[in-house]
Amino acid sequence: MERPVRVRFAPSPTGPLHIGGVRTALYNYLFARRHGGAMILRIEDTDSQRFVPGAEQYIMDSLRWCGIEIDEGVGVGGPHAPYRQSERRAIYLKYATELVEAGWAYYAFDTAEELDALRREAEARGEAFAYNYAVRGRLATSLALPAEEVRARIERGDQWVIRFRMPENEVVKMDDLIRGHVEVNTSTLDDKVLYKSADALPTYHLANIVDDHLMEISHVIRGEEWLPSLPLHYLLYRAFGWEASRPEFAHLPLLLKPTGGGKLSKRDGDKMGFPVFPLFWTSPTTGETAHGYREDGYLPQAFINMLALLGWNPGTEQELFTMQELVDSFSLDRVSKSGARFQPDKARWFNAQYLHRMNEQELAALYQPILRAHGIEVADEVAGKAAGIMKERAQLLTELWDLTSFFFVAPDTYEEKQARKYWKGQNPAILAELRGVLASIDDFSLENTERIVRAWIEERGYGMGQVMNTLRLALVGAGKGPGMYDVTAFIGREECLRRIDRLIATLQPGE
Ligand code: GLU
């Protein structure tokens, strides 16, 4: 019988979730949904030194914004609760000691100073120190010390750790759903710490394997940086006798810098002006902040679409996918082995595609908070209409204000270049005349105003460009904006007249 698909996203709350982490969550989610399985959120917070307050909430807020739903886990609950490893600490010691009893692990009593000294000695010989088969038999370990002494040290409260006893010179054969068959000789690996008495907590490796087993995880989908840990994880499954239910593994390719080489970092984002985090972040300890896609004006649908294609391809030319379409087409065998280069322009392109396809109602919902932040209180229809007129020129939601502010706020200054060009000669007089024409129009709809004004311009023999650009100076205050009749219809007759009066009253015409 096929085992039920159960995947987990298992972040450590050590800071804001990087977009690489969001992609890992997304692929887990797509895989779960594709196979009718469960998506679990487990918080791996056993490294108390790297714990950052607020990071867990940030992770949950990010997933929610992205539309990645959690079936079981922190914030949701479920049959394997608790899902926060710090709340599961009672579980792990038993498993660690079980491994010691079975000969798969041992106690080590080395102090930090002793380990430092060993490292320095090795360095002096031009070597790197490894805690492994070559040294464990002659250091302060339960493999070297008499049993009574080990017991005595533990009883008197000496600090100890439990280390995995990595076999010597054995080839571990592993299969990865993305990388294929991988073999590693254990002599290249060291004896990782599994448990620390100092804080009565397991390390990542032990907690991760124990929890994946207890939570009946079927597939581990995670970043490539964990591939070097895979031999240890395989051996832990063997040591516990859990090989039959060992999950399958899929290690996702790295997200690379826009320039190619190396892992995408916050510094690349700062340098090139794009966020590497989903949401804005303020560090609770240093106060340092980081840009987020949400605050920078990206739509979650576009963000997710862009991320899905960074490392996975559908095998077709299709680029735009709803979440449901992603679920329907996702498969791990179309995830690439090589790193995926992040392209900031492509991220903006995706956003523009989504923005341009939105109707006025959808735009209103997104634009209203931005308008309110600028002190503008208008009906949804008005907000949606303004955004709708200008959406084609925007890639990001945040660009809409600059593109539409003149709809809501009369200009109080005039762009110099534009003023110099048009606020001179006949134009002020013509604008005064146009004011009269506009004042006489009752049906101020776009079409009617355009018809009447055009006829008047033709009849008087004025230059169309001169008149319209002078009107633009009055209504917009600059050389930007949509067609003039979009503006007149939007702001209405009285406001048009007021803005014309203001220009005439405040700006001295040039020569
Ligand atoms: N806590 C690990 C992380 O932060 C999880 C790795 C895994 O998925 O096994 O990435």
Q: Provide the edge-to-edge strand list for the sheet that holds 201-202.
A: 105-108, 161-164, 193-196, 201-202
Which pLDDT belongs to residue 442?
A: 97
Establish whether 346 is a catalytic residue.
Answer: no
Q: What's the CA angle centered on 244, arms 238 and 247, to 5 degrees?
A: 85
Question: Which of 207, 222, 252 marks a domain boundary?
Answer: 252
Specify if 95 maps to a domain.
yes
Specify if 398 maps to a domain.
no
Specify if 7 maps to a domain.
no
pLDDT over 90 at 499, yes or no: yes
Question: Is 226's C-beta closer than 6 angstroms to any atom of ligand 1?
Answer: yes
How does pLDDT run across 346-372, given as a tens digit for each residue? 999 999 999 999 999 999 999 999 999
pLDDT over 70 at 311, yes or no: yes
Taking the CA of residue 212 as reference, the ligand 1 atom at the shortest distance is 9
Taking the CA of residue 204 as reference, the ligand 1 atom at the shortest distance is 1
Task: Report, as an integer, the average pLDDT of 236-257.
Answer: 97
pLDDT over 80 at 260, yes or no: no
Specify if 53 maps to a domain.
no
Question: Which of 222, 252, 282 marks a domain boundary?
Answer: 252
Mean pLDDT of the chain: 97
Per the structure, the complete domain to which residue 117 belongs is given by 87-252
Q: What's the CA angle centered on 292, arms 263 and 178, to 5 degrees?
A: 40
With a pLDDT cut of 90, the percent of the chain lying above it is 96
Which pLDDT belongs to residue 436?
A: 98
How does pLDDT run across 375-415, given as a tens digit for each residue? 999 999 999 999 999 999 999 999 999 999 999 999 999 99
Which pLDDT belongs to residue 380?
A: 98
List C-alpha distances in Å: 423 to 25, 419, 426, 458.
57, 5, 9, 21
CATH number of domain containing 216: 3.90.800.10
How does pLDDT run across 108-151, given as a tens digit for each residue? 999 999 999 999 999 999 999 999 999 999 999 999 999 999 99
Total number of domains constituting the chain: 2
pLDDT over 80 at 19, yes or no: yes
Q: Is 357 exposed, middle or buried (0-12, 13-18, 19+ CB in 10 A)?
A: exposed
Measuring from atom 10 of ligand 1, which residue has the nearest CA?
11
| 10 Cα to the center of ligand 1, angstroms | 5
Which pLDDT belongs to residue 57?
A: 97
pLDDT over 70 at 1, yes or no: no
| Radius of gyration, CA atoms only, the chain | 32
Task: Report, as an integer, the average pLDDT of 80-94.
Answer: 96
Specify if 438 maps to a domain.
yes
Which pLDDT belongs to residue 270?
A: 87
Question: Distance between CA 474 and CA 306 in Å, rounded?
Answer: 41
Specify if 199 maps to a domain.
yes
CATH number of domain containing 497: 1.10.10.350
Question: Is 280's C-beta closer than 6 angstroms to any atom of ligand 1?
Answer: no
Specify if 198 maps to a domain.
yes
Q: In sequence order, what are the residues at sequence separation of 6 or more whose Cβ sits closer than 8 angstroms to the Cβ of residue 325?
A: none
For residue 247, say if its preceding peptide bond is cis, omega within 30 degrees of 0: no
Which pLDDT belongs to residue 342?
A: 95
Specify if 292 maps to a domain.
no
Tokens of residue 243, six digits: 């090989």
> Residue holding tokens 């009447």?
452
Measuring from atom 3 of ligand 1, which residue has the nearest CA?
11
Question: Which of 216, 233, 252 marks a domain boundary?
Answer: 252
